[in-house]
A and B are shown apart, each in its own frame.
Chain A
Amino acid sequence: MLFNFPYIAVVLLILIGLATVIYKRNLIKIVIGITLIESGVNLFLITLAYRKDSIAPIFHGFTASKDNVPFMSLPVPHALTLTSIVIGVAVLALMLTFIIHLYRHYNTLDARKIGREEE
């Protein structure tokens, strides 16, 4: 049961993030909700890489005897997570720039008052 805690945290993060995006009206809170979902998915990818009693996947310069080679965790999900974090940074920068522009036009951050068709 102890090793299932990261998966429970993943599900909680994604559900709280989705609830924030759907139910909140302030634009900045919607952006925070998207960041929560992205953190949950990154945590899921990292948790998949762990095996019992494994170390980080870095070569330490040990000799080539095959007996005391320590067991490494999988390195592929680490690369996937890194790519996902970079994409998240780019999307976050884009959304915050849009919020700066929107505030200058409408002088409010309420999602129900901006972008109406009849103006």
Chain B
Amino acid sequence: MNISDIVFHSPALIVAIPLLGAFLTPLVAKINDKLRNIFAILIALITSVLVAILANDVFSNGIRTYVFGGGEPLVNNSYAIRILFEVDGMNAFMAIIASILTVVAIIYSWTFLKNHTGQDKYYTLILLMIAGMFGMILTGDMFNFFVFLEITSIASCALIAFYTNKGKAIDAGFKYIVISSIGALFILFAIGILYSQYNALNMAVLANSISFSFLDKIALALLISGLAMKAGIVPMHMWLPDAYGRAPSSVTLLLVGATQASLYGIFRITLSIFGKAFNTTGTVLKSATLTGDELIMVSSYPNVISIGWILIILAILTMIIGVLMALKQSNLKRLIAFAALAEIGYMLLGIGVRFASKYSEIVKMNNQEYIQIGFHGYDISALTGSIFHIINDALDIGLLFLVAGAIYIATKETSLNKLGGLARNMKYTTVFFIIGLIAVSGLPPMNGFASKLIIYESTFQLNPIIGIIAILASILLLAVFVKVLHSAFLGPKIPNLKDVKEVPKSMLFAMGIIACIIIIFGLFPNIVIDNIIQPAVNAITNHEAYIRGVFNGI
């Protein structure tokens, strides 16, 4: 087994090793408790090493395909009946995010759950959720995406209701599973419609042969609605503050990753699968009617400008509602959950701006009039900003949730009315919270500034109101978190919180890893954009290369 063998088999091993670990954990936990903890972190570290090797290979060599069960991707050069994983730049980028969140969550939960019962089932469900997330990210087959989506949602729902002695946590889990299950059934309905038309479940084969007929429009609407229900976009956002706010903190960290994997699904479907139908650029002849007046051929390209504007309006509503509801909360974790809701709007803004920036104008060549269709130049930078914001948001919101968990461990309080003056005893936690505050509000020198500046610049060129609303949302987030800093950490001491101690070392180590990555990304954003983000943007907009990964040689 040399390195090239491991790189060749790594897309399957990244999903199979956490799955095997999840099924071995109940047997290992019967022997010893410490052995179970070491086993869990070992599985997470092996998976992270495999992800790093695979990402390094994909960023330098191109798309890599893995067929389950051997053989070629296409049988007789036309039938795609095998399940395959197709890894390009965007998949590798999302896998890097998921692996960082995994390692941090397992290290954090060693001492966070020290005195709780049911830790055996907790580690089993975390490894199962990780296997589902990696499967959702790396797959190249539509029905496989649905199955891994359901695995992730069932495992994460059982983890949200971990505190079974409180009624509120179980209610949050019930709401999550109802809305998640309805969204997944919509996605299955759309997959059925697409299969009945084109006789293919493979993403590359669908991208090659899709034409924007009436049934495809229904399938696109159902797919975006189902994935928006899973990602928490307004008006299907009612599960998000409950589920993020009442779950254990390490579970919330992984739940942020699962939400972003659903958002990756929207990227992949609108830009790669429907890319050939949307991306007709070039020149089209204007046609003449019988009466001699010249009319434009309206059915030769789909009207993506309206799709783009619908996505932009949903993103703006998400940002406004998230920030305004965060101003009046008094429960700390629920406040951070509403801030996470506002950040999802920034990520959706990139796709909307790319579709809404399509233009069509009339040019005259050789005494005939043609219609020139193309995109403006700022849509690539809007996509770059949104994709960079995915990793920044995961790290920032994750750090804030870990700090909230640390406060809960030290003081057993969750309401901001009863906290105060914690900065004297918990010095490291205060420093981590200040780093998270600066990063979330988009101030330099942390990483939030870099991605938000790109989003402001590119959306301002489409329509100035969008840029102004984005900047206002950031300023209101700064106000919200300064209020939290003042009421929880600064100020005089409260009598019954006199003897709180600093949290244990493993939780500080986990928070320190994320804080270091935030500072490094903030000080050197151009290195990150050139090496990690730019290949991902090039891969997601290049639907020809995605199709050629399966149809190689045709």
Whether chain A touches chain B in the assembled complex (some CB pair under 8 Å): yes
Q: Is the CB of A48 within 8 A of B188?
A: no
- Apart from A37-B182, A87-B150, A101-B167: 8 A-B pairs, beta carbons within 8 A: A21-B182, A77-B192, A94-B154, A94-B158, A102-B171, A114-B171, A115-B175, A117-B331
Kindly specify which of A38-46, A53-61, A65-73 makes contact with the partner chain. A38-46
With CB as the reference atom, state the residue of chain B lying closest to A93.
B154
- Could you say which of B174, B182, B334 contacts A95, with CB atoms under 8 Å apart? B174
**B-chain residues with CB within 8 Å of residue A84 when the two chains form the complex:** 188
From B154, B167, B195, B242, contact of A102 by CB (8 A) = B167
* Chain B: interface residue total (CB-CB under 8 A): 31
Which size bracket describes the interface of A in this complex?
Answer: 20 to 34
User: Within 8 Å of chain B (Cβ to Cβ): is A26?
Assistant: no
B247 CB to closest chain A CB (Å) equals 14
Bound state CA distance, A37 and B188, in angstroms?
11
Chain A 21-43 interface mask (CB, 8 Å, partner B; 1/0): 10000010010001001100100
Q: Does B185 contact A (CB under 8 A)?
A: yes
The reply on A90 being an interface residue by CB < 8 A is yes
Q: B188 to A115, Cβ gap below 8 A?
A: no
Measured in the bound complex, the distance between the Cα atoms of B181 and A18 in whole Å is: 12
Are the CB atoms of A41 and B188 closer together than 8 Å?
Answer: yes
A91 sits at the interface (CB 8 A): yes
Asked if B154 and A34 make an inter-chain contact with CB atoms under 8 angstroms apart, the answer reads no
Q: Is the CB of B161 within 8 A of A98?
A: yes
How far is it, in angstroms, between the C-alpha of A7 and the C-alpha of B173 when the chains are bound? Answer: 33
At the interface, yes or no: B378 with Cβ under 8 Å from chain A? Answer: no
Interface presence of B189 (CB below 8 A): yes
Q: Return B245 CB to nearest CB of chain A, in Å.
A: 9
| B178 contacts A34, C-beta separation under 8 Å | yes
B residues within 8 A CB of A38?
181, 185
B40 sits at the interface (CB 8 A):
no
For B196, the chain A residues whose CB sits under 8 A away are: 48
Which of the residues B143, B181, B192 comes within 8 Å of A91, measured between beta carbons?
B181
Q: With a CB–CB cut-off of 8 A, which chain A residues contact B177?
A: 91, 94-95, 98
Interface presence of B528 (CB below 8 A): no
Q: At the interface, yes or no: A105 with Cβ under 8 Å from chain B?
A: yes
Partner of A115, one of B150, B158, B168, B185: B168
Given contacts A21-B178, A37-B182, A106-B167, contact A115 B161 (CB under 8 A): no
Q: Knowing A34-B182, A98-B170, A114-B167 touch, does A44 contact B242 (C-beta < 8 A)? A: no
Taking the complex as formed, is A80 at the interface, i.e. its CB lies under 8 A from any CB of chain B? yes
Q: Is the interface of A mostly helix, strand, loop or mixed?
A: helix
Chain A hits for B173, CB < 8 A: 98
| Contact assessment for A95 and B147 in the assembled complex, using a CB-CB cutoff below 8 Å | no
Q: Which residue of chain B has the shortest Cβ distance to A37 in the bound complex? A: B185
Cα of A101 to Cα of B161 in the assembled complex, Å: 10
Residues in chain A near residue B192, CB distance under 8 A: 41, 44-45, 48, 77, 80
Whether B76 sits at the interface, judged by CB under 8 Å, is no
Please state if B195 and A98 are interface contacts (CB–CB under 8 Å).
no
Give the complex CA separation of A51 and B344 in angstroms: 44
Contact of A91 with B242 in the complex, beta carbons under 8 Å: no
In the bound complex, what is the Cα–Cα distance between A45 and B168 (angstroms)? 37
Interface contact A48-B181, CB-CB below 8 Å: no
Interface string of B122-163 (1 = CB under 8 A from A): 000000000000000000000100010010001001100100
Q: Which residue from B157, B170, B185, B195 sits with its C-beta under 8 Å from A41? A: B185
Query: In angstroms, how far is the closest chain B Cβ from the Cβ of A9?
Result: 14
Bound Cα distance from A48 to B192, whole angstroms: 8
Cα distance A32–B492 when bound, in Å? Answer: 53
Are the C-beta atoms of B182 and A30 separated by less than 8 Å? no
Contact A115 B178 (CB under 8 A): no
A95 to B181, CA, bound (A): 11
Instruction: Tell me whether A34 and B167 are in contact in the complex, defined as CB-CB below 8 angstroms, given that A48-B196, A87-B150, A102-B174 are known contacts.
Output: no
Least CB distance, B201 to chain A, in whole angstroms: 8
Q: Is B58 an interface residue (CB 8 A)?
A: no
* A31 nearest in chain B by CB position: B178
CB-CB contacts below 8 Å: A75-117 with B: 76-77, 80, 83-84, 87, 90-91, 94-95, 98-99, 101-102, 105-106, 114-115, 117
Query: Does B422 make an interface contact (CB < 8 A)?
Result: no
Chain A residues positioned under 8 Å from B242 (CB to CB): 115
Question: Within the assembled complex, what's the spacing in Å between the Cα atoms of A41 and B150?
Answer: 15
9 closest Cβ pairs, A-B complex: A115-B171, A105-B167, A98-B174, A48-B196, A101-B170, A87-B150, A41-B185, A45-B192, A91-B181
A contact residues around B60 at 8 Å (CB) = none
Indicate whether B496 reaches chain A with its CB closer than 8 angstroms: no
Q: A37-B182, A87-B147 are in contact. Are A77 and B170 (CB under 8 A)?
A: no
